[in-house]
Structure 1
Amino acid sequence: MNDNHGLSPSAVETIAGFTAGVSSTLAVHPLDVIKTRLQVDRFSSSRIGSSLRIARTIAQNEGGLLAGFYRGLTPNLVGNSVSWGLYFLWYRNIKDALHDMRGSRLGSLDYFVASGSAGIITALLTNPIWVIKTRMLSTGSHVPGAYPSLAAGVRAIYRSEGLAGFYRGMVPALFGVSHGALQFMAYEQLKRYRATTTFIPQLDPDINREGLSTTSTALSLQKNQPLNNIDYLLLSSLSKIFAGCATYPYQVLRARLQTYDAAGTYSGVTDAIAQIWRREGLSGFYKGLGPNLLRVLPSTWVTFLVYENVRIYLGRR
C-alpha cells in the first residue's frame, strides 16, 4: 500500500499515459488522416497545398467532416491510449531498475536506453492495431474492401494474411523506436536543466550617491524549482521537433508497408526504400511532414500536459 490511495508508481504512470493518449488522439485525429493519406501516396509529388487538396477531397466525397475526418478513430484511439499507457509503465520500471543498478542519478544514455527499451516492447505489443489504423485512415469508407471497423479489420487480415499480416511494417516501426528514445532523452534532460536553472528577479535595496535608499533588480538562481505548464509546453515542443526531424522517414516507410496493397508493391523494407528513392527522390521520404508537424506539436502538448498533470494529481492524492 502507498500514499496514492493504493496506486503504485507504475499504476500512476499507466493511468497518466493512457489518459494522455486518449486526449491527444481526440484532439488531432483529422490531421492524422491527412498525414497518412500523404504518406501512402506513391504517385503525386510532394508540394505545398497537398494537405488542403486532400482535406477538400475528404470533406466533399467521404460523408462530410465528421465521418471523413474521424474515419479510423477507434483503432487510433485504442492504439494511442494503450501505447502511451504501456510506454510510460515500462519506461518508469526500466528507469527505476537502472537507478537501482547505478545507485546514482541517471544520465542521457540511461534515459535513451529506458525509453528505447520501453518503445520496443510497446511496438511489439501494439503493431497489429497500427496496421488496421493505417489502412482505415489511408482510404475512405466507400472504397471497395475498406475495413468498416476495427473488428472487421482484425477478421479480414487474419483470414487473408494470417498472423504475419498484423506485423507488416514492424521493421521500420522498431527503427522508429529511436524517435521516442531521442525525444525522451531530450525531454528528461531539458526538464532537469530547466528545474535547476530557474532565474527569478529580486529587488535589492541600494544606496545611491546622495544617500537615498533605492532598489535595484538582480537575478537570483533558484534550484529544484517545480515546473509549470508553460515549461511542459516548451520542453515537449523542443524535444519533439528534435526527434521528429531526425527520424521522420521511418513513418513514411511504415505507412507504405502497412497499406492494403503493400504485399504486391514492395518485397520488403529495402525494396520500399529503393522504390521511393528512385521514383520520388529525397522528398518522398518526407511526404506528409507539413501536417505531421501541425499534428505532432498540438498532440505533444496535450499528451505531456495531461500526462504530467494527471501524474502530479495522482501523486498528491
Structure 2
Amino acid sequence: MTDNQARFSPALVETIAGLSAGTVSTLAVHPLDVIKTRLQIQRNSSPSHVRAFGILKSLVANDRPIQSLYRGLTPNLIGNAGSWAIFFYFKSIVEAQLLAFHNRPTSDFSLQEGASQALKGLTPFDYFLASGISGAIITVSTNPIWVLKTRMLSSDKGTAGAYESMGHGASQLWKTEGWRGFYRGVGVSLLGNSHGAVQFAVYEPAKNIWRKYLAKEHQLSGKTPAGDHRQEKLGNTATLVISGSAKIMAGTVTYPYQVIRSRLQTYHADERFGKGILGVATKVWRDEGWKGFYKGLGTNIVRVLPATWVTFLVYENSEAFDQPKKISTLNNVGATKPSAVYSQL
C-alpha cells in the first residue's frame, strides 16, 4: 500500500470517483439531455410538436450550434458532478453503518472465548436503503440547480423570457417566484429517488455475483489461491453490461416522474401544465394518455446508457487504486470499518 493510498479514506475515494465520473459523463451526453428535456415538455396539442431528430436539426441549424447543443451546461455540470460526489459519499457512509449494524456483537458471542462470528454482507434491501437515503439528501440540496437547468435546456438563448445564464436565471427566479421557485418539483424528485435505489439494488448484488464467479473460476484454474472475491477486478465489459442493465431496468420503471418533474420546473409551469404533481399527472393522462408519461423515453435510453457506462467505468477504475487499503482495512478490523463498495461478503 502506498503513502497516497494510506492518506485517503474509502468515503473520500468514492467522493472523488463520483465527482470525476459525473463530470465526464455530463460533458459526453449533454446535447441528448437538451433534446430529452424539450421532448418532455412537448404536448400533443402543441403546434410545434416535433420529434427528437427535428429538435436536433433545429439546434444544429442555429447560428451557434455548439452553444445551442450545450445550452445550460453549467447547472447540469454542477448538478450532476456534485450529485454523484455527494451520492457516493453518503452511500459509502450509510452502507458502512448498515454493515457494522449487521455484524454488531450479540449475546451469542459469549458462547466460547475466542470464538469468531461469521461476517455478514449487505442485502439488496440494504443497497436500496443506502441509495434511497443518499438520493434524498442530494435531491433536497441540489433541486435549485435542476430548476435552473430545466428552464435553460428547454429554451434557446435570446428568446423572450429565457435565462441568459445560471446567475441571471437564479436572480430572475428569486424575483418572480421567491425561494419556493427553487424547490419546484422537489416532491416528485423525492419520489424519483426510487430510480437510484432500484438501480443500485440491482447493480451491487449483480457485481458481487460476477466477482464471486470470477474468483471461483480463477481458483479452479489455479491462477489465484482461494481468497476474498472482492479482490477480483470487475472488468470493463462486465461493468458495461451490469451497469447498463441496472440503468435500463430502473429508468423504464421510474421514467414518468421525469416527465412530471420537467413540466413542473419549466417556465410558467402552472399555466401550461397544471399545478402540483397531481395536477400535472391528471392533465398528462387526460390529454395524452399513458404515452404522455413516456415522452422522450427513447432519447433518454440513448442518453443514459453512454452516461451510465462512462460514469461506472470512471468510477470503478478511479476507485480501484484504493482497493488494497480497503481490503487491508476490512481484514484488520472485521466489520467495524468496511469498504462501502466492496463490503458484500
After TM superposition, the score normalised by the length of structure 1 is 0.89
8 Å contact from structure 1 (residues 12, 314) kept in 2? yes
How many Å separate the matches in 2 of 1:102 and 1:203?
Answer: 31
CA RMSD of aligned residues (A): 2.3
Equivalent residue number for residue 19 of structure 1: 20
Cα deviation for residue 142 of structure 1 reads 2.1
Equivalent residue number for residue 213 of structure 1: none
Q: Which amino acid aligns with 1:68?
A: S
Equivalent residue number for residue 136 of structure 2: 120
Structure (1/2) with the larger strand percentage: 1
Indicate whether 1:290 and 2:298 are aligned: yes
Please identify, of 50-59 and 68-77, the stretch whose mean Cα deviation from structure 2 is larger. Answer: 50-59
8 Å contact from structure 1 (residues 168, 257) kept in 2? yes
In structure 2, runs of 5+ residues without a counterpart are 104-119, 326-345
Cα deviation for residue 5 of structure 1 reads 4.6
Match of 2:237 among 201, 226, 230: 230
Q: Do the aligned partners of residues 196 and 53 (structure 1) sit closer, same or farther apart at CA in structure 2, a change above 3 Å counting? A: same
Moved over 6 A (4+): 201-204
Equivalent residue number for residue 100 of structure 1: 100
CA distances 1:236-267 after superposition (whole Å, capped 9, x unpaired): 01100110111000000000000011132321
What are the equivalent positions in structure 2 for 1:204-223 lying under 5 Å apart? Answer: none
CA distances 1:103-149 after superposition (whole Å, capped 9, x unpaired): 12110111100000000001000000000000000011021111111
Equivalent residue number for residue 83 of structure 2: 83
Indicate whether 1:173 and 2:170 are aligned: no
How many Å separate the matches in 1 of 2:207 and 2:275?
Answer: 43
Q: Which amino acid aligns with 2:253?
A: A
Equivalent residue number for residue 55 of structure 1: 56
How many Å separate the matches in 1 of 2:233 and 2:304?
Answer: 25
8 Å contact from structure 1 (residues 32, 292) kept in 2? yes
Q: Do the aligned partners of residues 184 and 203 (structure 1) sit closer, same or farther apart at CA in structure 2, a change above 3 Å counting? A: closer
> Any idea what SS the aligned residue of 2:321 has?
helix
Cα deviation for residue 159 of structure 1 reads 1.1
Equivalent residue number for residue 135 of structure 1: 151
Q: Which amino acid aligns with 1:291?
A: T
How many Å separate the matches in 2 of 1:227 and 1:67?
Answer: 38
Cα deviation for residue 222 of structure 1 reads 10
Match of 2:160 among 144, 166, 172: 144
Equivalent residue number for residue 8 of structure 2: 7
Equivalent residue number for residue 264 of structure 1: 271
8 Å contact from structure 1 (residues 200, 222) kept in 2? no
How many Å separate the matches in 2 of 1:40 and 1:307?
Answer: 32
Q: Which amino acid aligns with 1:88?
A: F
Cα deviation for residue 235 of structure 1 reads 0.5
Q: Which amino acid aligns with 1:227?
A: L
Cα deviation for residue 314 of structure 1 reads 4.2
Equivalent residue number for residue 157 of structure 1: 173
8 Å contact from structure 1 (residues 12, 315) kept in 2? no
How many Å separate the matches in 1 of 2:278 and 2:175?
Answer: 27
Cα deviation for residue 3 of structure 1 reads 6.1
Indicate whether 1:276 and 2:277 are aligned: no
- Amino-acid identity (%): 46
Q: Which amino acid aligns with 1:17?
A: G
Equivalent residue number for residue 70 of structure 1: 70
Cα deviation for residue 7 of structure 1 reads 1.6
Cα deviation for residue 196 of structure 1 reads 1.2
8 Å contact from structure 2 (residues 285, 292) kept in 1? yes
Indicate whether 1:186 and 2:202 are aligned: yes
8 Å contact from structure 1 (residues 20, 302) kept in 2? yes
8 Å contact from structure 2 (residues 40, 295) kept in 1? yes
How many Å separate the matches in 1 of 2:90 and 2:173?
Answer: 29
Equivalent residue number for residue 210 of structure 1: none
> Any idea what SS the aligned residue of 1:162 has?
helix
Please identify, of 224-233 and 73-82, the stretch whose mean Cα deviation from structure 2 is larger. Answer: 224-233
Q: Which amino acid aligns with 1:50?
A: R
